Amino acid sequence: MTLTFELAQFSVREEDEAALLAERPEMIRAVQRAFPGALAAWLTKQDDGTWLDWFRHISQSGGVRHAEVAHEQLFASLGRPNVLST
């Protein structure tokens, strides 16, 4: 087993930031359901206004799709297609 960090940088419209933060706990639960090896996650807002999603996981947990699963969960909760480019 290898501990791995996965990073995804993305932008969110200002009017959607509150939803992003409100849905974050469910996003993390979705990642943990899909990837039992997911150990931790952090979300930070950068000085340039973009967001950085950090996922720490065991590399044998099914690949590096953690950010994709979390973002799919967010957009599903908003009733919108996932338009983030990571």
Band the pLDDT of 27: cuts 50, 70, 90.
confident
Secondary structure in 3-state letters for 30-72? HHHHHCCCEEEEEEEECCCCCEEEEEEEEHHHCCCCHHHHHHH
Mean pLDDT within 4-22: 88
* pLDDT per residue as tens digits for the range 51-70: 998 888 776 644 556 566 66
| pTM passes above 0.95 | no
Q: Where are the domains of the chain?
A: 3-78
Structural fold of domain 3-78: Alpha-Beta Plaits (3.30.70)
